[in-house]
Amino acid sequence: MTECCIAGPLALEIVWQDGLVASLHLAWAEGRERRVATASGAALEAALSRFVAGEAPDWPHLPLRWQGLSPFARRVLEELTRVPYGQKVSYGWLAARAGNPKAARAVGRIMAHNPFPMLVPCHRVVGANGALVGFGPGLEMKTYLLACEGAA
């Protein structure tokens, strides 16, 4: 089952599998249709609305399907959930926090395949010099997301 939460210019599609969130897909809302069918979807949409309004979103705790991720990828993604709202970190910093300080490139690959954007805020990860680099939905969206958090 899939749902589509819409808040402001953002759409966040939830893909459910066996009662778990298998993935989230972040996109611009234009041309997308809102389809919220569960209480979890409604809670995610409310949090997305707070985020777009520039408020701390207080993301709901959804059951995530972590299967298929390597232990290092899971450590990286879990560590990223601890980065506070409105703060940015580098790929190297995140690699070190996950236990492998020389794995900045591997962290970049993990960010490129993050199955849970927004809940695992990969838009907060920037280059070592603070440059906005690499983001699946595009750097324009990364800039927008960081601006919503006051971290642009």
Identify the active-site residue in 4, 5, 122, 148. Answer: 122
Phi, psi (degrees; rounded to nearest 5) at 115: -80, -10
Q: Collapse the DSSP code of 21 into the 3-class scheme (helix H, G, I; strand E, B; otherwise coil) and give the result.
A: strand
Distance CA 7, CA 105 (A): 32
Burial of 23 (C-beta count, 10 Å sphere; 0-12/13-18/19+):
middle
Q: 32 CB contacts (<8 Å, ≥6 apart)? A: 4, 6, 11, 13
Bridge-partner residues for 3, per DSSP? Answer: 14
Taking a C-beta distance cutoff of 8 angstroms, is the pair 61, 81 a contact? Answer: no
Tell me if residue 5 is catalytic: no
Q: Which residues are catalytic?
A: 122
